[in-house]
Structure 1
Amino acid sequence: MRRLGSVQQKIPCVFLTDVKEEQSRKRDCQQFQVVATETLNPLALEADIDCALATEKLDGTCCYVTDYKGQPYLWARLDRKPSKQAEKRFKKYQYSHKSCKGFTWNIEEDFKTVPETWIPAHRVKHHNGHPVPDEHGHIPGWVPVEKDNKQYCWHSSVVDYEARAALVLRPSSDDEDVLEIAAVPLADLREQTLELIGTNVNGNPYGLGSKKLPVHCLVSHGSIRIQSPLPVDFHQLCSWFQESPEGQVEGIVWHCNDGTLVKVHRHHLGLRWPDGDTYLANRPVVVRVDGADDIYDNTKNLFKPYFALNGHSFSRLQDVQFES
């Protein structure tokens, strides 16, 4: 199977974009919005977008699996951001020059501190040994998810470092139309990026679990294919998002043969998200978290609750509920 791209940086839009001075549909505090034009991005054309694999863009928080303390670990996304003073200077420059090109950062002084364990994302540029911010003034990066770190408690709920496994939602090996939630060895996920989705992530657009009994899982980027792919055409995509049940997704990410990733978000097309029931939440799912009774003895993660549901099938992902 094709090696899918790893989401280490912000993914560009498949269309060229324009900035409109009106309230963002995506961020309440943003007084402008980025919208797609009808012109294909030259980057997508160069990467042969017509031969790319179309996959569902998931609405959660980005994670990464790589080694830490001599074994594969789950890492949480943590972008290093500028201090308030530096950000004010950056925005003032952007406003007056209508561009961020030419702005000079003081890398050692302009950015907030990050934990010692922080690492920059792949392909972050460096200058004089220091990572350089992107055009948004951020330095993308990662921190390891320690099991006792309350800030990342929902990340911790889907990994068991003693069992060296993670709880992953993926297409079933028996039937790709059916999803499965499985305990997957972390070693099998090494160097992959994944999306953490669930009750306490990004407003829970998929309607999973409840406050009392939260449901979370990881989804490998690129693993949920668009089952009926369509041409990369502005008008056809607009119609698909609005009229097709399969179009009830946050967006599409195309994985090109050369490793290039491009996307389109519903907000790029002036469409709401979420907008009613989501396609993912309405797909059938089976739980396959098996093993010996004493494998998952950590009461702080979700392995035991999923283990109790092993073999159970649900007509909708949204129907997965744990026993109280």
Structure 2
Amino acid sequence: MIRVYAALGGLSLIWGLSFVFIKQLVGPAGMWGTVFLRCATGALLLLPILLAKRDRIPRSIPWIPLLTIGVLNTGLPWGLIALSETVISSSSASILNATTPLWTGLIGLLFFSAVLAARQWIGLFMGLIGILIFIDFDVVKLAQENFTGVGTMLIATLCYGTSAQLTRKYLGNSGVLFTTAVSLIVGAMVGLIGMLFSQPIELSALANGPVILAIIGLGCFGSGIAQLLFYYITKEGGPEIAVSVTFLIPVTALLWGAFLLQEKISSHAIWGLLVILAGVYLATRKKKAAVSISESA
């Protein structure tokens, strides 16, 4: 579990910065152009590695679940997040993103026969309380922002929760590298199709430093490396642990702001961080007895 938690921390740092990159890119690239660029760049990073390690490609490929998960985990939610950030702030988007573990737990309970212990439910709700403390209980300000932005962000988190459960059920025997590469290719195709019916990419606007940095950051790190980490955590620790990263993303976004922009960290943000970390621990900790029983089964 040490490797899983280390991957979880690294993923939160990458995705915390991704919301800043999305805000930078969505203007010149548009909603679906952002999806296409980040997915295509991530796929270009991983495909040579996958081709060099052909043994990682499974002999029996569950294509329908794999394509469905590609749409639900990259193409659709990343487009919705980009649309959301055209009308709400990146920090608000990252806060709403923290509802993902609740959707994952509820979807698992309703459709995948998953059972969550009382301790895990307490941990999930502690995470939400930590988010409220993090924003100093200013939910009115969040609710007053454009509802389309809030609504699309919540639909994106619902997609994440569904794809996490589908990944555990159908892709347990598929390699992490293969699953990630195919998911990004599917996401790029979704973005390309979306571009045909919406705003085209402003190629001239892409030729500047911040936008190029955003493409590299979103594609190579926020999509390629981050997706590898996410699927690794899902397979090794379970979907509840994987999506608990969304509790940490607002925190890492705050830390990136303090480090890169010298933004001040408030006391309520620190207290919120402590409650969030406690919630993540409770929601993801597995009983040793349960683990030993499952291993002997």
So what's the TM-score if we normalise by structure 2? 0.24
* Higher RCO (Cα < 8 Å, 6 or more apart): 2
Higher strand proportion: 1
Higher helix proportion: 2
So what's the TM-score if we normalise by structure 1? 0.23
